[in-house]
Structure 1
Amino acid sequence: MPNSCRELRDALAQCLQESDCVMVQRNTARDCLRSPLAETLPTKCQQLKKGFGECKRGMVDMRKRFRGNMPVAYRSASESDKGYQLYAGKPAFSSAVKETSGDEPVPRDWRDMENEAYRAEQQREQQQQQR
């Protein structure tokens, strides 16, 4: 098998070995890839199965006979947290999108801040008038 599909094949085998179909239900990996059990696989394994099938199909596709399959870098794509689009050697969206943990405080609305400033100003004026 050419090296273009080997990485996807290894990733699919690893995903199948870690799935409940093999670990808990004790089915073989071959059985887990067949129709009734294939729907119970995790989404990641289903995507790898589809990608591996397309890779093998591309090896015999006559439209790709001169250039071959596009090289698949599954590990580099799955392990990288950065954007994949490059602009001048840097990720295109690295500064625009920031990672959040989900427990950041909600930013205050500008209208609320203006209302508070207005109320504080009104209170100062009332205190000055009372003196």
Structure 2
Amino acid sequence: MGRTWNGNKPRDIRDFERWLRKGATVYVINRLEHAGDARLWNHPETWSSYTVTGKHPLLGDWQINSSSAEYFLKWHGTVYDTQPRGIPHHSSSGPRVAGPLPEEVFEMTMKEIQYAADEAEDRANADLKAGRRKRTSWF
């Protein structure tokens, strides 16, 4: 791998900001333990790429999407200048299976899901007939 910068070290933050230029691409590794059910994918890690969009018009700091480079580095931890090898991209599909997924992954069968959706729709229609306000959120 090429250069790496760690968000916990002030020296790395300064070096990262000096290295940046408009259009530069940086890569981060995402850990799936906090991104839902990681058992559905073969790899516990994926990578994402981000492009430097330019400098902030007032402050002059480098911007990656809509955040400053310093905040980006602190938020993502370790940042790389080359694409990680052996790790799939975050938008690549999970494994293709020839049969159904394991039963413990899902808590409800398709009939139970359809029944719950029908009940929710019936309750919403009854609320509209009764003149109650339409629900705008799940809470």
**What TM-score comes out, normalization by structure 2 length?**
0.23
Whose helix fraction is larger, Structure 1's or Structure 2's? 1
Higher relative contact order (CA 8 A, sep 6+): 2
Bigger-Rg structure (1/2): 1
Whose strand fraction is larger, Structure 1's or Structure 2's? 2
